[in-house]
Amino acid sequence: MKRKQRMVLLLLSAMLCSSILAACGKDSNESKTNTGDGAEAKVEKIVFAMPSFNQIPDNLGRITDAINEITIPKIGVEVDYKVYGPVDYAQKVNLALQSGEQMDLFTTLGQFTSYVSKNQVYPLEELLPEYGKELTAILDKDFGPDMLKATTLNGHIYGIPVNKGMSIPTNFVYNADMLNEAGFTAEDIRSVNDLPAIFEAVKQKHPDSVPFGPINVNPSDTSLLLLLKGSHQVDFLSDTTGIGVVVGDEGKVRNFYETELFKEGAMMMRDWFNKGYLEKDAATTSITASDLITSGRGFSFMGGYSGLEAAKALSAQTGKNLEMKRIAPYYFETGAVNMVSWMVSSTTKAPEAAVKFLNLLYTDEQLINTILYGIEGEDYVKVDEHHVKYPDGKDANTVGYTAMLSTGIVGSESLQYQLEGVNWSDVELKLQENKETQKSPYFGFIFDPSEVKTQMSAVTNVVNQFLPGLMCGVLDPDTTIPKFVDALNKAGAEDIIRSKQEQLDQWIAAQINGK
């Protein structure tokens, strides 16, 4: 009898070991969960990487758990939630994509064509009809049927644009208290030409202040440059180098840095710099405009914001009384939509799960607000149906978790809570302006840089060398722009322009024939 008992124990041990080995041998992207009726359903795991413009806590575990309490029961997807700062985000994503580390969902942050040209993204057109039906329906409703044209290349849909107010007019953001102390009001701000007098008065009143903070020197951010002539009809043709743009609607591709528009903008910045309205190290500093304002030294900066209420969120972030004034309209070109688009990695082992999660991200109020605001009662308090506030004694810098400054990065804005005091009608205004803002006649054109990759890389290096100094007024445009253009041509700018013109001509012909 004892011998039989030993045999049974050995058999049970063997079965247990084989079960453990079998479990260890399963795909790491899959696990099991109990459905509640005794049956087990497959749960697929994905890595979701999001950029945050707020402070990132050391431990995201409780937020990840809260996300999975939503996603596992609803769609059978377990999420590994990773959050990176905006400076590190692209580097972290690229490192994962190149090393083979799991990275299923990430956002473009202006690098749409780069990811596509490197074959780093998964085409979505066959997955969306089954796993993203609600997602595509809400995009059509809030923006119109053309939205996915901005992320479609050679018949393949490579990204899902964030469903937000994408019409982002240029706004002058300023410390309202400092403006009043300098003897001006918001009514005195009508155009960029009104700003120097205000800067001078602020400088006189606050000698240690920085009237105008560091600006975004991304080549695609030409807001300041376009204000001078009142022209906003510049299409960068889905490329952020600044090489090969269309000004107006004549269809001629040119080097933006050779235009009078660019030179006049650079001359304006040079004048502001010489008069002491910018920091001396504005072209190289890592300090942001909001950092300067938080410290009490900064007065203003320029930014693109949809709606009319962004200053309230910026005030909450900086602790200062900020207001903003629109001083230039917006112009929809393809890059305006695909600049912030969610992509599925070409190396993903769970593409269906990734699209299921995207679909939920754009349609589930609980999920999107957990990602943006954290856990109710701990990280935020609900005020009413649409509004939240921080717990008593807390703010954006001291609360356990918030990513509220990433509202324009993720999901559908119409489902996002707003901070207390923000007018909910502003969300409705944003959706309205999405449909009413003028579109470029080349909306939907995406430049394929694969034939000029080497030139694009070389040109980008040149742009990074010259543009910050010109945009921040450190360099003299009269002497620097000719050197800049010469260096661009030597790097292959003319090849890029030629390739863009050929592709644009073909695209225009296809649109005409399609009609």
How many CB atoms lie under 10 A from the CB of residue 21?
A: 9
Q: 29 is written with which tokens?
A: 């992207």
DSSP code string of 74-138? HHSEEEEEEEE-HHHHHHHHHHHHHHT----EEE-TT-HHHHHHTT-B---TTTHHHH-HHHHHH
Give the pLDDT score at 269.
92
What tens digit of pLDDT does each residue of 472-512 get?
Answer: 999 999 999 999 999 999 999 999 999 999 999 999 998 88
Mean pLDDT of the chain: 87
Q: Sorting pLDDT into bands at 50, 70 and 90, what band is 222? A: low
Total length of the chain: 515
Identity of the residue numbered 267:
M
Contact in structure between 192 and 229 (CB atoms under 8 Å): no
Percent of the chain exceeding pLDDT 90 equals 55
Q: 338 is written with which tokens?
A: 């695909």
Give the distance between the most distant pair of CA atoms in the chain: 102
Contact in structure between 104 and 141 (CB atoms under 8 Å): no
Name the pTM for this structure: 0.75
What tens digit of pLDDT does each residue of 438-478 get?
Answer: 888 998 899 888 899 899 999 999 998 999 999 999 999 99
- The more confidently predicted of residues 342 and 225 is 342
Quick one: average pLDDT of 83-106? 92
Give the pLDDT score at 41.
72
H-state helical runs in 132-259: 133-142, 176-181, 195-205, 223-227
- The more confidently predicted of residues 443 and 122 is 122
DSSP code string of 44-77? EEEEEEEE-SSPPPS--HHHHHHHHHHHHHHHSE
CA atoms within 13 A on the CB side of 38: 0
Q: Is the dihedral of CA 453, 457, 462, 468 positive or negative?
A: positive
pLDDT above 70 for 2: no
Q: 411 is written with which tokens?
A: 């999901």
How many CB atoms lie under 10 A from the CB of residue 424?
A: 15
H-state helical runs in 275-309: 289-295
Contact in structure between 164 and 407 (CB atoms under 8 Å): yes
Identity of the residue numbered 45:
K
Q: Sorting pLDDT into bands at 50, 70 and 90, what band is 118? A: confident
Strand runs (DSSP E) across 197-314, as ranges? 234-235, 243-247, 254-255, 300-304
pLDDT above 70 for 514: no
Q: 350 is written with which tokens?
A: 């769970």
Contact in structure between 326 and 170 (CB atoms under 8 Å): yes
Give the pLDDT score at 33.
57
How many CB atoms lie under 10 A from the CB of residue 79?
A: 22
Q: Which three-class secondary structure state does DSSP give residue 515?
A: coil
Comparing 154-158, 175-179, 366-370, the range with the smallest average pLDDT is: 154-158
Task: Compute φ and ψ for 494, nearest 5 degrees.
Answer: -65, -30
What tens digit of pLDDT does each residue of 423-434 get?
Answer: 888 888 988 888
Residue 503 CA to residue 388 CA, distance in Å, equals: 48
Task: Compute φ and ψ for 55, nearest 5 degrees.
Answer: -65, 140
What tens digit of pLDDT does each residue of 297-353 get?
Answer: 999 998 888 888 889 888 988 999 999 999 888 888 888 888 889 999 999 999 999
pLDDT above 60 for 194: yes
Q: 252 is written with which tokens?
A: 């001629």
Q: Which three-class secondary structure state does DSSP give residue 444?
A: coil
What tens digit of pLDDT does each residue of 228-278 get?
Answer: 666 678 888 877 788 888 887 788 999 999 999 899 999 999 999 999 999
Q: Which residues pair with 324 in a beta bridge?
A: 173
Residue 333 CA to residue 239 CA, distance in Å, equals: 11
Q: Of 370, 342, 382, 371, which Cα lies nearest the Cα of 358?
A: 342
Q: Is 349 exposed, middle or buried (0-12, 13-18, 19+ CB in 10 A)?
A: middle
Residue 411 CA to residue 16 CA, distance in Å, equals: 44
Q: What is the DSSP letter of 439?
A: B
Q: Which three-class secondary structure state does DSSP give residue 255?
A: strand
Q: Which three-class secondary structure state does DSSP give residue 172?
A: strand
